[in-house]
Amino acid sequence: MNGNGSIADDSMLFSRISQQGERRDKRGILDLIMDYYSHTEYQPTQEQINKDRFVFFGFIRCQPWMSIPAGILIQFCYGSVYAWSIFNGPINKAISGDDSHGNAEITFYIALGVLGITAAIFGPWIETNHPRKSGIIGLLVFYSGHLTSALAVSVRMISLLYFGYGFIAGIGLGIGYVSTIDAVSKWWPRARGTAAGIAVMGFGGGSLAFGAINRWLIDHTTLPLTFFILGSINFIVMLISIQFISPPPPGHNPDGVPIMESTEHHQHKQPAIAAIGALELEKGTQGTRPAAAIAAEQPTLHVSLGEALRSRDYWLLYVAFLANIVFSLVIISNLPRIIHNMFGMGRSVPQQPPIPAYIAVSIEGGFNMLGRVLTGMVSDLLGRKTTFMLLLTIQIIAISFVSVAIHADSFWGFLSLVWLATVCYGGGFGMIPAFLSDMFGTNNTSSCHGILLTAWSLASIVGGLVFTGILNHFLSHGSHAWEPHIYTANFMWMLVVVVVGFVCCLFVRASIRDRLFPALPNQILRLRIFGRVFRVLCLRHAPPVEVPPGRCKRHRKFMEFEYLTRAEEQKAWDEYLALRAVQHRLMKEPNDC
């Protein structure tokens, strides 16, 4: 009996040791993940810094402007994914024998879905490594996806096509897209929106050119050879262009006044202004004033990646970004089908549309490209949040009237509204790297950008499946493909998503002032609308208003609304910075008591 008891005790002991080991393993894996997402700064050696002074295998001295055309060409090749809708009909016909029945369009959804997930996973790795290294890996994987796609079409395996172009090429897209855009934007700290917009312009331009290129290759060669030629051309162009991509030297990116977490008060999460030279109190006729800090209207906020991802502002921007892209993303992959069913040979009375579908896709790519560069420039002038809210407002208007255009059988009205929304779609991608850099610092841009691109995946996969599901629901219940209501139902849920995104964007605290301004004791809401602060105060707990004798009793106000002038806001901000400067000095000075 004692022997059995010891055996039981030993068994329990081994079980406890095993469980503790499993806990340590789990904790170790979690620690590794947290460590991976906590260190997001590229720290080159002096030897690497000297090498980066030259590009193109060390033969040409590096100049900041070189990153722009190189980034455009690389993004142009990656942007060929936007012209995928040209392949849907030919691939369906090659695999199933009917160009209108098949699932080739799912490949597009998988590719963009994998793109976002890859960007989120590899974001910290991209940030901590040389952009040329990650760029070469991205283009190699992207080329492998094209070769696998050629094999898939040859053997007529749709699952292999999903794996080749959807999964493998999607990984290459995720790595190459983020590494190129962020490397280019870091060269231009005072015009990040313009620099990123110009670079991302190439991605939108890819569909403009490849819509016609894909059609020509399909008509003059076989589908497998088309994928091989496209992949080879992209590989050569990107391999040459990536040689001109190099990170800026250390010290190139400081822009504005850095705001960091004080190590002494980290447990209390009290932000301290780090740049002491910018916070010295200026003594003069105008009184005490933090000179350089007040002069910097938009100082850059440097926080850790963990703090950025825990911020409600990040996730509000995430929802706003998703809302900005969902409509155009679904339309891009379905535009040929809509034109065919509503305005072409698939309608109840067949007719030729005014322009072929592939030309409409190419023109849409042009508006996509225009939106990327134009919005980036506008955001440098008007501010990121104001520009983003403008994009969402335009989309709300466009989606509201697109159903009207379809019911009115207005081909050009429909396309005009779709192209207008596409400008906003591209604009979101053009300014989002600069938006993130302004809000969370240049050292977190790639990581924050990568995780934000999962919204691209979500909008692509979920949006595409919901669109197709609603369409198939109506078709299975007796509706015809040329009836407008099967598309109107889809436009309605997209409109709701964009409205929600607009509301979320309204609550994003995009500037240093909005994020650091302490709330008043009775404040319940504060927003920045058209550059001015609007706040709502609750007076429920305010002291009662005394009524002089002989006067009627007044009803007490419970709410008060304030719309501060710029002068009032500036005065409050100056007082706040002066107070923080005093606190910072007291924290630094030794205690004499």
Tens of pLDDT, residues 358-375: 788 778 878 888 898 899
Q: State the average pLDDT over residues 53-60.
A: 90
Tens of pLDDT, residues 417-440: 999 999 999 999 888 888 888 888
What burial class does residue 233 get, using C-beta atoms within 10 Å of its C-beta: 0-12 exposed, 13-18 middle, 19+ buried?
A: middle
pLDDT of the residue at 283: 37
Residues recorded for the chain: 593
| 8 Å CB contact between 75 and 200 | yes
Domain with CATH 1.20.1250.20 in the chain: 61-249+304-512
More confident residue, 191 or 77: 77
Q: Which of 322-331, 516-525, 544-553 has the lowest mean pLDDT?
A: 544-553
* Closest-CA residue to 358 (of 380, 341, 383, 337): 337
3-state DSSP: the chain helix, strand, coil percent, rounded to 5?
70, 5, 25
Highest mean pLDDT pick, 60-69, 341-350, 493-502: 493-502
Q: How confident is the model at residue 262 (pLDDT cuts 50, 70, 90)?
A: very low
Tens of pLDDT, residues 436-481: 888 887 777 777 888 898 998 888 888 888 988 888 888 888 888 7
pLDDT of the residue at 141: 97
Q: How far apart are CA 565 and CA 410, in angstroms?
A: 46
Q: How far apart are CA 383 and CA 589, in angstroms?
A: 38
Q: Any bridge partners for residue 271, and if so which?
A: 261
Q: Which of 95-99, 308-312, 391-395, 479-483 has the lowest mean pLDDT?
A: 95-99
Top CATH class, 61-249+304-512? mainly alpha
| Three-class DSSP category at 253 | coil
Tens of pLDDT, residues 487-544: 888 899 999 999 999 999 988 988 767 777 777 777 777 777 767 788 888 776 555 5
What is this structure's pTM?
0.74
Q: How far apart are CA 70 and CA 202, in angstroms?
A: 10
pLDDT of the residue at 551: 54
Q: State the average pLDDT over residues 158-168.
A: 95
pLDDT of the residue at 276: 32
pLDDT of the residue at 171: 96
For residue 536, what is the enclosing H or E element?
strand 532-538
